[in-house]
Chain A
Amino acid sequence: MIEALFKPGDRVTVRKAYPLGHIRTPYYIRGHSGVVERICGRFGNPEELAQQRSGEPKQPLYRVRFLQKEVWPEYKGNPDDALEVEIFQHWLE
């Protein structure tokens, strides 16, 4: 079992990588930093599942909260407006 490396409140950065295949980490959030809101559990790795492999070992999945103004420099709104995205551990550092 893969241990969860992060806990709620930790600041994390999404890897800025562009591998081919079925990736569930949206482009727009790669390279951005946010704070872990919760650990959702462990789930089969979608990149492996898409290749018809087992998806094992399961990866911890996090919900990470990003500030809109940090993701989109031109963002207008409340400075605390946020964006929450589910990200698998192997995409976080």
Chain B
Amino acid sequence: MKDTGNYQPYSYFQLMEVSLRELLVEKGIVTEAQVAATVEDMRARSPERGAKVVARAWVDGAFRKKLLENGSRACEELGLDVPALKLVVVENTPEVHNVVVCTLCSCYPRMLLGIPPDWYKSRSYRSRTVREPRTVLEEFGLDLSLDVKIRVHDSTADMRYLVLPMRPAGTESWSEERLASIVTRDCMIGVAIPVLN
């Protein structure tokens, strides 16, 4: 469904997508309108959803507890529908830093973070994060002390992972909205930590 301009031929996969979609519509399995609505829905998901969850966990201890116990259920409470998503939220502490990868493909909590960045799907990130996470994090600009334990989460099956970063010092008086503004996508993957602007 990518805009390919006027005169560019379809690539192999684009042609396959068009052919498959047209066949499904012809056979009455889906309608063009349903496909368009689903694409729209996928595009509407953005890391702001995840940031809202993190900010709530920072200000509401009971919510944070629920989120760590059962991520999917806690998100429902915020009105975020997470169908078919078994969300595991992992919490950063002064002792433990978490980072998420999918070595087999690119499993990602799309319902909360939207479409994954290209680097998340790259062979390099996928193969190196499980093997030399400290070097990978350094390349992202995150230099962790040797005292901090790193926990790498390889999302190989039905679970999806979201990192709950630590709330930075100096944000005690901040509103939930302002807190959400410093929670970036990369913080929730675990390759960054929130910084004050």
Interface bracket on A:
20 to 34
**Contacting residues of chain A (39-92) with chain B, CB-CB under 8 angstroms:** 40-41, 43, 46, 61, 63, 65, 68, 72, 75-78, 80-88
**A15 nearest CB across to chain B (Å):** 15
- Determine the chain A residues whose CB is within 8 A of the CB of B151 once the complex forms: 65, 81-84
Cβ of A25 within 8 Å of any chain B Cβ, yes or no, is: yes
Q: Are B157 and A24 in contact (CB under 8 A)?
A: yes
Cβ of A18 within 8 Å of any chain B Cβ, yes or no, is: no
With A28-B103, A40-B86 as known contacts, state yes or no: A85 contacts B156, CB within 8 Å: yes
Cβ of B110 within 8 Å of any chain A Cβ, yes or no, is: no
Per-residue CB contact flags for chain B residues 136-176 toward chain A (1 = under 8 Å, else 0) read 00000000001111111111111100000000000000000
State A88–B159 Cα separation when bound (angstroms): 12
Cβ of B131 within 8 Å of any chain A Cβ, yes or no, is: yes
Cβ of A21 within 8 Å of any chain B Cβ, yes or no, is: no
Q: Are B149 and A86 in contact (CB under 8 A)?
A: no
Interface bracket on B:
20 to 34
**B80 nearest CB across to chain A (Å):** 20
Cβ of B130 within 8 Å of any chain A Cβ, yes or no, is: yes
With A84-B152, A84-B153 as known contacts, state yes or no: A78 contacts B147, CB within 8 Å: yes
**Contacting residues of chain B (42-63) with chain A, CB-CB under 8 angstroms:** none
- Determine the chain A residues whose CB is within 8 A of the CB of B35 once the complex forms: none
Contact of B156 among A25, A75, A76 (CB under 8 A): A25
Cβ of A26 within 8 Å of any chain B Cβ, yes or no, is: yes
Cβ of B194 within 8 Å of any chain A Cβ, yes or no, is: no
- Determine the chain A residues whose CB is within 8 A of the CB of B157 once the complex forms: 24, 40, 43, 46, 61, 86-88
A-B contact pairs, 16 of them (CB 8 A): A25-B156, A26-B154, A28-B103, A28-B131, A40-B159, A46-B157, A78-B149, A80-B149, A81-B149, A81-B150, A83-B151, A83-B154, A84-B153, A84-B154, A86-B156, A87-B157
Question: Contact residues of B with A, CB < 8 Å?
Answer: 86, 88, 103-104, 130-134, 146-159
